[in-house]
Amino acid sequence: MGKTRGAVVVDTDRCKGCGLCVAACPLHLLHIAEKSVNMKGYSYVVQEQWEECNGCTSCAIVCPDACISVYRTKEP
């Protein structure tokens, strides 16, 4: 059985940087962008270390604005 990989896609225009997803990520792969803001003036969430994400969807589940989508793939 292959390893599951995930990719987090954040709708940066809708994200208000509340940080709930950052706290929910068990692998600590998300962080708030320090020098970037969206068109509403909020700092938004970005994913670090793409190769480490396991696609658990914890971040998407806790997002109050449904800004996060998680895509999963299985490696052979």
Mean pLDDT of all residues in 16-34: 95
Walk me through the domains of the chain, giving residue ranges and CATH numbers: 4-74 (3.30.70.20)
Count Cβ atoms below 10 Å from residue 46 Cβ, excluding itself: 16
Instruction: List pLDDT tens digits, range 47-69.
Output: 988 889 999 999 999 999 999 99
Q: Token digits for 76?
A: 């052979």
Pinpoint the alpha helices (H) of the chain.
Answer: 20-24, 58-62
Residue 75 has pLDDT above 80, yes or no: no
Contact (Cβ atoms closer than 8 angstroms) between residue 56 and residue 72: no
The pLDDT, as a whole number, for residue 42 is 95
What's the pTM value of the predicted model, to 2 decimals? 0.85
